């Protein structure tokens, strides 16, 4: 059989799972996704994939039913897991940057919503800035699309993967610490865009 893992897990977990499946005569495919549930419902997920070529061939028709694209990252064990964690670290870093920038304009007497509408509709016209940017600007953190406690888990796993291959990630480290402090303050069930709360507090807002 083929075990398709679409979860966000540690690179080491993906590697170990591939070993265990190979020992059992089965195939394991790392296939983490980018996209929230509404994106999945619309059949617009993006999938990062790595693992056995025959497993990829067998699941291709399944993926075609609910994803708009699959990017193949080869056969190296856990490769797609590294891609997913790196991507989530980028999202977390963008959230921190947007929160800091909103704090700057607000303390300068500027409407933070108008500011983000300008940026999300021009220089940063993409889902992350449009979605999280407007949530940050308007301080909309519930209902949570991606809970802060899950963001903490993912950024921590990204840093573990970075440590394993000797890559410093100072921005991700800063965001991990903000997430950890926010969870400790009881904000773990808020959307991770609520990092803005910590940034605003530091700015005296």
Residues with catalytic annotation? Answer: 84
Tokens of 97: 């940057």
- Tell me what percent of the chain is helix, strand and coil, each rounded to the nearest 5: 60, 10, 25
Residue 168: closest CA among 159, 180, 177: 159
Run of H or E including 178:
helix 170-184
Task: Provide the CA 19 distance to its chain's centre, in angstroms.
Answer: 26
Angle between helices 195-202 and 79-107 (to 10 degrees): 40
């Amino acid at each position: 059989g083929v075990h398709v893992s679409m979860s966000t897990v540690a690179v080491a977990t993906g590697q170990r799972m591939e070993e265990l499946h190979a020992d059992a005569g089965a195939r394991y495919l790392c296939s983490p996704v980018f996209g929230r549930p509404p994106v999945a419902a619309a059949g617009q997920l993006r999938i990062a994939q790595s693992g056995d070529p025959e497993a990829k061939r067998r699941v291709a028709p399944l993926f075609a039913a609910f994803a708009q694209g699959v990017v193949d990252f080869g056969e190296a064990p856990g490769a797609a897991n590294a891609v997913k964690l790196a991507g989530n670290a980028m999202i977390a870093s963008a959230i921190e940057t947007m929160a800091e920038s909103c704090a700057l304009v607000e303390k300068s007497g500027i409407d933070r919503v108008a500011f983000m509408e300008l940026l999300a509709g021009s220089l940063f016209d993409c889902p992350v800035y449009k979605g999280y940017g407007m949530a940050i600007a308007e301080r909309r953190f519930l209902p949570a699309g991606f809970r802060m406690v899950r963001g903490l888990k993912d950024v921590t796993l990204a840093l573990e993967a970075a440590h394993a291959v000797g890559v410093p990630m100072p921005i991700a480290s800063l965001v991990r610490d903000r997430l950890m402090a926010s969870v400790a303050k009881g904000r773990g069930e808020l959307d991770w865009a609520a990092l803005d709360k910590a940034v605003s507090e530091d700015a005296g807002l």
